[in-house]
Amino acid sequence: MDFEIIKLPKGKSAVLGKIVQDDLVSRQTIAVRDTDSLGMKGEFTIILIEGSEPALRRVLEIVGEEGTILKGQEKEETYKKIKDDEDNVAEGLGLMFG
């Protein structure tokens, strides 16, 4: 599955609203994290979108110049941090309900 990671300044929450309200994009897998929760520097919201190529193109249109599209090593490292965070949450739930 293809994915994109967007880094939005904290004051650009309207862009996040447009992403999650878009009919095509909202049907994809979306994860939203603050940079603090991922151990990253800065005051940003990180958005991971996993899904179809048309939906990912639409996300890039919505974001435009409002945010940064992560690329290369930064994109891969951020993806790993988000997935590790999701695994930790799932593991914690398993201990509670297991």
Query: Over the stretch 18-31, which tens digit does the pLDDT of each residue have?
Result: 999 999 999 999 99
pLDDT of residue 91: 54
pLDDT, tens digit, 9 for 90 and up, residues 44-64: 999 999 999 999 999 999 999
The one-letter code for the residue type at 28 is Q
Whether the predicted pLDDT of 87 surpasses 80: no
Residue 73: how many other CB atoms lie within 10 Å: 8
Which domain CATH number covers 46?
3.30.70
Question: pLDDT-based confidence at 77, cuts 50/70/90?
Answer: very high
Cα dihedral 78/83/84/87 (nearest 10): 170
The pLDDT of 11-16, averaged and rounded, is: 88
Tell me how far apart the alpha carbons of residues 13 and 50 are, in angstroms, rounded to a whole number.
20
Tell me how far apart the alpha carbons of residues 12 and 18 are, in angstroms, rounded to a whole number.
11
Helical packing angle, 53-63 and 13-21, nearest 10°: 150
Predicted TM-score (pTM) of this structure: 0.86
Question: pLDDT-based confidence at 96, cuts 50/70/90?
Answer: low
By residue range, what is the domain housing residue 20?
A: 2-97
Q: Domain total for the chain?
A: 1
